[in-house]
Amino acid sequence: MVSRETSSVFDVRTAADVVATKLPLGDDNSDETTPLAREAEVTVRARFDARTRPTLARPEHTRVMVVANQKGGVGKTTSTVNLAAALAQLGQRVLVIDLDPQGNASTALGVEHRRGTPSTYDAVVDGTSLEEVTTRCPEVDDLWVVPATIDLAGAEIELVSVVARESRLQKAIAAHPRVGTAEEAGEERFDYVLVDCPPSLGLLTLNALVAGEEMLIPIQAEYYALEGLGMLLETVDMVKAHLNPRLVVSTILVTMYDARTRLASGVADEVREHFGDQVLKTTIPRSVRVSEAPSYGQTVMSYDPGSPGALCYLEAAREIATKGVPIR
């Protein structure tokens, strides 16, 4: 496989870089008298920078990334929608496939997912084309969504008797006219397809692992964080051996990191010891703004672009894009 396609990408300055840099305060318009004033200025500048930032180079072919971890509440959905929005802000065309019957990713991206809405269920169970059930995210340009309805809950059982039941999603994605290389799919191709998995290792997650070439595992920075990962990695090995030899765990993202606790940094160290370079340098802080955004049908990227959560998701997205496709 081709490697590091986008590694030569120019030096993009993100809002996070701006915050990390000591800003040259003290000019006529700035107020350095209080920490609050300084913070406000940092936020304003970060927002301005987010709007004027140059875009990143696009990968040569659609990167299909599966966001999975059978543990619930580790930040799969939050990371899927915010990374998707951040990648779109960085000039990438992104498709999010909601594969969790709860439809939380659909909610956060502001798309309809009532029963009867054309959805992942139709594509995976009935064989409707993915293009037909793809809808535009109203909040973010260059972001598309395949919503999940509660019907998907039945798919785990309905799929059992279906032919080639593990590769339904893979076929659906591969048949999408906007998936592939620049030659196959043209300028309008998706650069990223992110699949948000349910919190289980059933047939739906299996379908995602067969469909993807990269896997992103969010790990919550808390006690027991690594528990259950063994089983997840065994499943990945099984899929690699029998169903999808291209699958690589390319990205680990530490989420809900609380810098004030020693536990969080201990967990992050342990994760890095296990996974090395696969772990993104950027960790996602625990932040109220991140958890509030979905109730407004928004990602934190549009709900509060200058907040630490948004800046860190932007930085994480930049890392993913600049690291490029992993060597196999």
Residue 123 touches which of Mg ion, ligand ADP, none (Cβ within 5-8 Å per kind): none
Binding track, positions 256-295, relative to ligand ADP; x by CB under 6 A:
x---------------------------x-xx--xx----
Question: What secondary structure, in 3-state letters, does the chain show?
Answer: CCCCCCCCCCCCCCHHHHHHCCCCCCCCCCCCCCHHHHHHHHHHHHHHHHHHCCCCCCCCECEEEEECCCCCCCCHHHHHHHHHHHHHHCCCCEEEEECCCCCHHHHHCCCCCCCCCCCHHHHHHHCCCHHHHCEECCCCCCEEEECCCCCHHHHHHHHHHCCCHHHHHHHHHHCCCCCCEHHHHCCCCCCEEEEECCCCCCHHHHHHHHHCCEEEEEEECCCCCCCCHHHHHHHHHHHHHHCCCCCEEEEEEEECECCCCHHHHHHHHHHHHHHHHHECCCCCECCHHHHHHHHHCCCHHHHCCCCHHHHHHHHHHHHHHHHCCCCC
Residue 108 touches which of Mg ion, ligand ADP, none (Cβ within 5-8 Å per kind): none
Binding residues for Mg ion restricted to 69-98, rule: CB under 5 A: 76-77
Residue 137 touches which of Mg ion, ligand ADP, none (Cβ within 5-8 Å per kind): none
- Counting residues that bind ligand ADP (by CB under 6 A) gives 17
Binds ligand ADP (CB under 6 A): choice among 62, 78, 244, 278: 78
Angle between helices 308-323 and 76-89 (to 10 degrees): 70
Question: Would you say 15 or 121 has its CB closer to Mg ion?
Answer: 121
Residue 74 touches which of ligand ADP, Mg ion, none (Cβ within 5-8 Å per kind): ligand ADP
Binding residues for Mg ion restricted to 129-158, rule: CB under 5 A: none
Is 308 a binding residue for ligand ADP by CB under 6 A? The answer is: no
Provide the minimum distance between the beta carbon of 84 and ligand ADP in the complex, in angstroms, as a whole number.
13
Residue nearest Mg ion, CB atom distance: 77
Question: Would you say 77 or 205 has its CB closer to Mg ion?
Answer: 77
Residue 291 touches which of Mg ion, ligand ADP, none (Cβ within 5-8 Å per kind): ligand ADP
Provide the minimum distance between the beta carbon of 260 and ligand ADP in the complex, in angstroms, as a whole number.
14
Of 30-38, 67-75, 153-161, 203-211: span binding ligand ADP (CB under 6 A): 67-75
Provide the minimum distance between the beta carbon of 294 and Mg ion in the complex, in angstroms, as a whole number.
10
Is 113 a binding residue for Mg ion by CB under 5 A? The answer is: no
Query: How far apart (Å, rounded) are the C-alpha atoms in residues 152 and 207?
Result: 13
What is the binding site for ligand ADP (CB under 6 A)?
72-78, 104, 199, 255-256, 284, 286-287, 290-291, 309
